[in-house]
Structure formats: structure tokens, C-alpha cells
Structure 1
Amino acid sequence: MAMMDTPLTTWLLFGHAPRYFHDTEIVSCLPDGGLHRCTYADFGRRTQRLMHALDSLGLERGDRVATLAWNGHRHLEAYWAVPCTGRVLHTLNVRLSADHLAYVIGHAEDRVILVDADLLPLLEQVYGLGALAGVTHVVVLADEVPSTPLSRAVTVVAYEELIGGRPDHYPPLDLDERTPLGLCYTSGTTGCPKGVVYTHRSTVLHAMTAATAAGVAIGPSDRVLPLVPMFHANAWGLPYTATAYGAKQVFHGGRQDPSALVELMATERVTVAAGVPTVWMSVADEIAARGGLPDLRHVMCGGARPPGSLIERYRRELGIPLIQGWGMTETSPLASMAWPKERMSDWDEERVTGAVRNRAGLPLPGVQVEIRDERGRAVPWDGESMGELLVRGPWIAGSYFGGEGTDRFTDDGWFLTGDVAVGSPDGYFVITDRAKDLVKSGGEWISSVDMESAVMAMDGVTEAAVIAVPDERWQERPLVCMVLRPGARVGLAEVREHLKETGFARWQLPDQVEVLDALPRTGTGKFDKKVLRARFGA
């Protein structure tokens, strides 16, 4: 007898926590430092009120509803209400410049934008660029609407006013599991950002796999703190995973002060947390000053390869396993985790660290990985052979929104990550380089190509090449190497100001420049960045 054909949609997971974990808390740290507490029962009622509210805005199924928001309980409600009503959740990256935000809002054809009150000035800049023509409503995630010029162009309403008085129950929709659920744009690593569409099916499978011991290891007894922003690849899927399994969720929005973060983790007795290496660097001293965090079972580190010294410090000094994970926006994003195998249980920690923890990990069940050379041939997993990393699976993107970037997908169904990797005989792999010379600062990509083009557009600059240099806090920062016209004077201040005026966000601006007589070139005439890295990489 065949199994029941139950659609894998968010409705399958949504009602689980409000029913079976109705008294489990969701805690949000507010901008003023106060804490907002609610339960999954509250969450269930409020989310269904939001579902009715979205219907009242004249939205069709498939319409994009964007969020420009930090981590918090209202953002979590949108995570579920938007896809459960057949719409597509488009999480806007608050770290993008106004120009890039304008592009992705227009490209996605967003109809409604939910925005935190303190991010209204950024959205107002986008409005000044004339990029909200297709937007009908702006919902401020607050009790009331502050004065804003946006009201001249769109209907602006407060979130609590919008959902107030709505019914607590919303009849589940019969959605196809391949219906689009979310839209997340890459950081514009080569040119304009590209959109990745997540489906109900891919998100449910990702959430269920991420919770396993091979993934982030989350269960009903956990207290989960995603320090990765909810606008960054769906906070690595943790809001869906934690909700599905009834784990307590703890959110910290806005700027992350290390002292406040550690205090929150201690007060709420967080057991699992996830963030980029720069976060774990910034809070290490605070954790040490407290004498550790006894409830913290492990932390997940992703977004960039953490230095071995950081992994060792968490193990030796803090007694906290720092587990490296790897993924991309295109992989939903979790694709691998660096957990040791059973046969390594008797190994000493130094051996485990060298063989496992310093690597990107083992592919999760359902994720297929290959490493291929320049001719497309699979290279052996011998711990030495390098090649480009390719992945495929049920939560891996098969194309980009709008049909762009077709060169990133092979004819035999694989996604070309652009990362150079080495696989070991044990099945672990490590990312050794980036194929397109990208700079990854604080877990976010910076396009060296875009920056080079902008710098070379400056008066007095003839050539420019951008490389990544190590940085203790941000992992990498961009270094601009440039050649000037005779008699020209261009320094760091001028470069930063020019890049700022051409649309680069403040966090993307370089901290240093080097003026050279000439840039080294390869035999084909391209800038030889290997030579620049050898000279300035230290």
C-alpha cells in the first residue's frame, strides 16, 4: 500500500509548535535593550492575523512581499504568514546600498514592504531613487507610524494596526509543494545581485535535515539564537527549523554589541547559536570574562572559513565546540557541517581539529558534491587535488530568478559554486580559494570587479586591482592597488568618497590603498593578483 501523498508545504510545519509547544517562548531583544516575550500560542494567533491582513492588501498568489528588518518576533511571523498565503517572502539585505536595494526591489517586483522603524531612512533613500513604483503598501513593524515622506507615494500603515482585530484562524491553503516560498538575492558578487527562489518543498526538506545531528542538531529542548541576520539566506533556515521542532527562539536585532549578546545568551540559557566568524571573534573575550556559558552546547560558524586559532580558542579556553558549516544563498544555505565521525571518538582533540573542524565539513544527506578540474572532469578526493566545487540536491537552486546566470548551471544538473576546494579520502572537503577573486568581509561578499571598475573611473587613476587581505576582525578587507596618471594625487580618502558616491555601502569601503608604478600582469595581459597577494597579503 502506498504512503500518503502529503504536500511538503509550510502548512505542514506551521501548526506544530502552537499546538504541541504552546507555552514555549520566543524572546526578542528590542532596540532599547528591553525584551519582548511571547509564546508559540501567541505566535500562531498573530501569524494567522497577518495572513488575513495580507489578503486585505489586494495581493495575488505569487506576489512578492519584502521585509527590510532585523531579527525579531514580527519578522518571524512574516516568515510564515507570507508563504502560507501563497505569496513569496523577499528578505531585503539591510547592508546593501540604496542603489542595490532599488535594483532588487524593482527586479523582484515587490508589492508590499515590511520595514523596521529604524530602517525607514534607508527605504526613504530608495524612494528618492524612484524605485518604489510597484509598491502599494509599506508596513512599519511597530505600534504606530512615524512621519515619513513615503506616505506621499504609498499607503503606510503600522503593523499592529494592520493585524489588529483580524481573526485568529486562517483556513489552510491547498498549495503545491513546488510553489515559490522565498526570494533571496546574492550580494552582487559579480555585477547586480541575482535572485534565488526557495520553494515550500525545498524549505521543508532543508528545515527537517538541518535539525538532525548531521546538521545543526536542534530539538524541542533547545534554545536557539541565530546571530546570522534573518535577511541573510533566511538566517540559514534556523527560524523555520526551530519553529518546526518547537525549540525556544531568541532574537537579537540591530547592531550586535558583544557584551549585550553574551548577556542575552546567558540570561536565556541559549544552547545552540549560529553566526559568522567575526561575531564569534567579537564575543570570545566576553564569554571568557564570564567564565564560560555552561548551557551553550555548541555554536555553528558559517559565512566564511573561521581561522584555526578561533576554533582552538573556543575548544581550549571556553569549552565550546565551534562547528564549521558551509553553504551559499543558492544552497538554502546549509550544505555541509564539520562533525566528527563515530570512529574518531577516541581521537585526541588536536587530531579531530586537524582532520575535521578546520574543514567545510561533510555534505548533508541529500546534498551531492563533486570537485571538477578546468575540463569538467572529477578530481580524486585525495587531500591534494584541487578543483571547482559543484553541488546539487533538493534544496539547491536549479536556476536564478528571471533566468539570469545560466553559466552557473551545468548541462548535467549541477550548480557551479565558484569556490575552489580539496576533498579528503574521509569525505570532508575544504574551501581553498575563491575562483573569482571575491572579498568576503564579515560574512558578506564584496565584488572586486565592481570596485575596480569604479576606482578606474576616477580622474587620475589609470589602473586598479582589488585583492582581499587578512583582517583580524572581519576576516578579509579589500585592498585597492592602483596606478595614477603623472602628477595626479589620489589617496584613501578620495577613493572611499568616490566609492560611496557610486553606490558602495559604508562597510564595503576599503581601509587602505597602495599606489604602484605598474600592476603585474599575466601572460594574457590580465592583472596578476597572485603577485599582489604575495606582496601585500601578509
Structure 2
Amino acid sequence: MLQGLMQDAPLNIHDILRFASVAHGSRELVSRNVDEPVWRYDYARAWRRAAQAAHALATLGVEPGDRVSSLAWNTHRHFELFFAVPGMGAVLHTANPRLPEDHLVFTINHAGSKVLLLDRNMAEIVDRIKGQLETVQHYVVLSDAERMVDGFECYESLIAAEAEDYPWPKLDENAGAFLCYTSGTTGDPKGVLYSHRSVVLHALAAGLPGALNFSAFDVVMPCQSLYHATAWGLPFAGAINGVKFVFPCDRFDGASLQQMIADEGVTFSGGVPTIWTMYLDHLAKTGEAPGKLQRVIIGGSAVPRDMAVAFDRLGVAVQQIWGMTETSPLGVVSTPTPALAALGKDDENEVIWTRQGRMMFGIEMKIVDDDDNALPHDGEQSGALMVRGPWVLERYYRADASAIDAEGWFDTGDISTIDRFGFMRITDRKKDVIKSGGEWISSIDLENIAAGCPGVKVAAVAGVYHSKWEERPIMLVEPLEVGSVTEDAMREWLEPRIIKWWMPDRIILGAVPLTATGKIDKKAIRDKYGQVLAEPAT
């Protein structure tokens, strides 16, 4: 083999912010914070503050290979840590505050973190779990000195005396950079250790026109949490392209989002469907318009078609995405192609709104049957979704066994179809497919239809035991507000839209449990309602 004669420059995460500070140095970054005024600065200053943060962490004893945990919202300080920690050769564990506390403790101990940096309104949680944390030596509040919490060190005080440049090392691009944990609904959370290489390659692909299509003219407000799979990689893809970032902190209610969208000229945002249900409800009640907002990416669970239609009427394009912590997380993004556009706008929208997305470079995928035979991409036959690529998990953190097969394929746990245009559609999770009397019922399809009913905030469908049919679907519906929807109204809405035998045997009005990543917690529903249909069949 003849070797190429190009420079062997490693892909390092901190070089993304270095580039942004030079190429887009004056581009504004705006951040809400916990009980502080809105913060405004630019990439050039963010780069200098990241250097100060790296110095401060080194002073606290952080060395290359050490783990540092953050327990923080979407803010400028958290953004700085995304570059400071991996840039100095350490690993940033973005702890999820929505995990049950025993799981939160597990992740920090499993990571073996030396320092824990937290937002001020996380202090109460940390006070409760401090005694269980085995390796943490320093607790730092991401705050100014004026609003500090007793018993903690102060981030702004720590970095204030530090130099604004740092001897950033050239790191092995395969070195660990971020440690993100799954939500652990069926056991302890599992750690996924991203490398510098995987993060940079993911960022380059994510910003392409066939994916998120970022440019320096975009104003991006990430409403997916920075602690959830690095906010789907937006901090890196956005910085590469010089976008203006708007960080909403922990305020994801409709009114707060609308204020930032209107005041800052947000053109692009993303998050889970429940956030956008509340946002659309706010617009409907107030008569406000979405300002300059042009595009919204939605993931975490399937997008209800009626939500996409509602945004379309407001002049906002909806793009579905699919991914998982194990894929860094982007796997597919729903963007049009010439072949799709040739079908006409209505057909194009139908595919964009009802598919999770199309293949993007860097992620290979296939669907297989129960005997591991590859299935055709005809949009009809469904099978287990398998993926592989440079930003896909090889094994979980501290695990001995590989998570992939001999050919490098990772089983996502999803059942899906792939059509002739390369668009993938999730029909269900393997563990959530409902088998009733030998026939399959898609809980995702039922949920999407139900979510379009007026007055519904979120709908969840689960299969539970039935003495005659093995399993039957039940539906849990959370109203937007008390009395906004009834069981009778739900049945009237569903009846003309579904096959008769798909009708849920029981429709229950109540709060829908969500996982720590904002997905519907089917396990919790089955645990609570699993025997609700257990009476003998009549």
C-alpha cells in the first residue's frame, strides 16, 4: 500500500472553538442563566474563557484522562466546559439531573469524576447525594460570586485570576472526550464514551446541507439539553459554521421560548415533541407569530403529523431526526432530495413528516429479519435496525464485551423500514411492539394519531396482558390542561383514523411518565397498568 503524503493532524474538539474564535470571533453568543441577567459575548471571548476554565480545572488537580462531571443546563458556562475539559485531555461527563437520584449517583461514581460543576439550582440535589459520591473532590457552582451558594466553590472566582491562553495539547484523536449515559430504564445506565475523532466527524457531517444545513447566518437555540448526547452535537456543528447561539438555560415553557425566539431572531431550534406541543399551544393562545424561526428539528420520539402541519401553517419547516446516545447521536435527518421533490410538495411533505430521516454519510444502516437476513428497502418490510460508522458505539464504558457483531453492526433495538428514497421509518421499539392475537400493532403510529387530537399534550400506548388476545393496547393521555380532552373525545378522534382492532381497550387520562431524556417511559406504564385488563375475557 502506498501511503499518502498529507499532514497527519489529529481531530481535536478544542480546535473547533479555536477556529470559531478566529473565523467568527465577533459572532454573538447569548445565554440565559439561573437567576442572573442575560449574558452576551462572542466566540473570541468564549475561547479565552475556555482557556481560563482549563487552567482552573488544572489547579483543582484535573489531569489528562481524568473525568469531570457537569450537572448543568443550556448556558454559556456549560458551553465553555464542552471545549475546556476535553481540550485539556480530560473527559466531560454530562450528568443528567432528570435521572432518579440513585441512577445519578451511579453515573458519577461509575465515571469516577474528580470534579463536579453544577448550576445553582442543582445545589439541593447535590447536597442530598454528596455523601454517596465516592471520587468527587471539588464541587463548583457555575455562578458569579454575587450569587454563590455556601459550601461550594465559585466558577467565576476560580477562572477570574487565570490566564486567557492555554497550552492546548495535540491529543490523540481517539482519546476519550465526552461520557454520556443512557437513561437506564431497564437497569443501570450505560456509559457511552465519545472520542475527539467521533465528535469532530459527527459535527462536520451534521452541518452539511443534507443534514442540519447550518450557515453563519443562522441563529440557533438548542432546546435539547446539553447533557443529553451533547445536545445532539449542535454546539460543535454550530461553532464550525459560525452560528449565533442562544442558550435558554432551563426555561423551556412556551412563553420563555417565544421571548428568546422573538428577541434574538432565532432561525433554528430543536428538541423533543413535548416542548413544541407547549410552544404551539402558547402561540395558539396568544396569537403570536414565530418571528424569524425557519426550521425546527424534532427527535427523541416520533413527531405527530399534526404538529408538523401546525408548524407548516406558521411558515416553519419541521425536520425529524433519529439517533441515540450510542450514535453520538445523529443517525438520520429528514431532508428532501430531488427524487422526492419530483413527486410534488404534498408527497414530499408526507415523507418528511412521517419518516425519521434519510441516510447521511458516516452512518451505514440495514434492516434484518429474525434470521439476520438483510431485508429490501421497499418501505414495506420491517426489521431490526442495525447501524455502524465512525461515531457509533463499539462497547460501553468499563464493559468487557463488545456491543457490536463480527461485522461491526450495532443493534439499535428499533424496528424500522427503509424506503426506495433511503428514508428510514421507525415502526416501534422491539420491546414495545404489541402482538395482539397474532397481529402486530404499532404503538408509535397510535401515539402519533392520538397526539393530533385537540387538547392532548402527549399520548402513550403500551401493550398489556390480555387473557384472550395475549396483549392489547392501552392508552395514557395527558391533557394540555384539566378538562381539555375526554375519553369519549379521544375515541371519536381515533375511530375514523385507525383500524378497528387497534382501538385501545382502555384510555386513561393522567400524567404520562417520561424518561430522563424526555422519552415516554413505557416500562413505567407497563409496571403500573400491566394488569388493568387481566380480568377473564367475556
TM over 0.5: yes
**Alpha-carbon spacing, 1:519–1:386, altered in 2? closer, same or farther (3 Å):** farther
Structure 1 counterpart of 2:391, from 389, 395, 403: 395
The match for 2:289 is 292
The match for 1:39 is 42
- Which residues of structure 2 form unaligned runs of 5+? 434-442, 452-456, 466-470, 481-507
The match for 2:76 is 73
- Which residues of structure 1 form unaligned runs of 5+? 453-464, 475-491, 521-530
Mapped contact 1:103–1:131 kept (Cα < 8 A): no
The match for 2:8 is 5
> What amino acid does structure 2 have at the position aligned with 1:141?
L
Task: Give the TM-score taking structure 2 as reference length.
Answer: 0.81
- Deviation string 1:308-366 (CA, Å, 9 cap, x unpaired) is 11111111x21111000100000000110111112333544321122332101111111
**Alpha-carbon spacing, 1:374–1:346, altered in 2? closer, same or farther (3 Å):** closer
Matches within 5 A, 1:443-522: 469=475, 471=477, 513=529, 516=532, 518=534
SS at match of 1:80: helix
- Deviation string 1:382-424 (CA, Å, 9 cap, x unpaired) is 1211111010011111111011674x42121111000000111
**Alpha-carbon spacing, 1:16–1:516, altered in 2? closer, same or farther (3 Å):** closer
Q: In percent, how many aligned pairs have the same letter?
A: 36
Give the drift of 1:375: 1.1
Structure 2 CA distance for aligned equivalents of residues 473 and 364 of structure 1: 36
**Alpha-carbon spacing, 1:166–1:183, altered in 2? closer, same or farther (3 Å):** same
1:197 and 2:200 matched: no
**Alpha-carbon spacing, 1:473–1:411, altered in 2? closer, same or farther (3 Å):** farther
**Alpha-carbon spacing, 1:298–1:468, altered in 2? closer, same or farther (3 Å):** farther
Structure 2 counterpart of 1:419, from 405, 408, 414: 414
Matches within 5 A, 1:53-452: 53-127=56-130, 130-144=131-145, 146-147=148-149, 151=151, 156-288=152-284, 289-315=286-312, 317-403=313-399, 406=402, 408-437=403-432
Structure 2 CA distance for aligned equivalents of residues 299 and 113 of structure 1: 32
> What amino acid does structure 2 have at the position aligned with 1:334?
L
> What amino acid does structure 2 have at the position aligned with 1:13?
I
**Alpha-carbon spacing, 1:470–1:302, altered in 2? closer, same or farther (3 Å):** farther
**Alpha-carbon spacing, 1:472–1:322, altered in 2? closer, same or farther (3 Å):** farther
Structure 2 CA distance for aligned equivalents of residues 429 and 44 of structure 1: 38
SS at match of 2:398: helix
**Alpha-carbon spacing, 1:9–1:309, altered in 2? closer, same or farther (3 Å):** same
Give the drift of 1:260: 1.3
SS at match of 1:54: helix
Structure 1 CA distance for aligned equivalents of residues 535 and 399 of structure 2: 36
Give the drift of 1:470: 5.3
Mapped contact 1:292–1:319 kept (Cα < 8 A): no
Give the drift of 1:200: 0.2
Mapped contact 2:17–2:43 kept (Cα < 8 A): no
Give the drift of 1:292: 2.7
> Greater shift after overlay, 377-386 or 1-10?
1-10
> What amino acid does structure 1 have at the position aligned with 2:128?
Q
**Alpha-carbon spacing, 1:472–1:209, altered in 2? closer, same or farther (3 Å):** farther
Structure 2 CA distance for aligned equivalents of residues 279 and 212 of structure 1: 25
Give the drift of 1:96: 0.5
Give the drift of 1:133: 2.0
Structure 1 CA distance for aligned equivalents of residues 148 and 37 of structure 2: 20
Q: RMSD in angstroms over aligned alpha carbons?
A: 3.4
Mapped contact 1:281–1:473 kept (Cα < 8 A): no
The match for 2:487 is none
SS at match of 1:5: coil
- Deviation string 1:48-100 (CA, Å, 9 cap, x unpaired) is 00011111111221111000001000000101000000000100111011111
Structure 2 CA distance for aligned equivalents of residues 81 and 279 of structure 1: 30
Structure 1 CA distance for aligned equivalents of residues 107 and 472 of structure 2: 25
Structure 1 CA distance for aligned equivalents of residues 258 and 227 of structure 2: 22
**Alpha-carbon spacing, 1:220–1:20, altered in 2? closer, same or farther (3 Å):** same
> What amino acid does structure 2 have at the position aligned with 1:114?
L
SS at match of 2:132: coil
Structure 2 CA distance for aligned equivalents of residues 354 and 250 of structure 1: 31
Give the drift of 1:3: 1.9
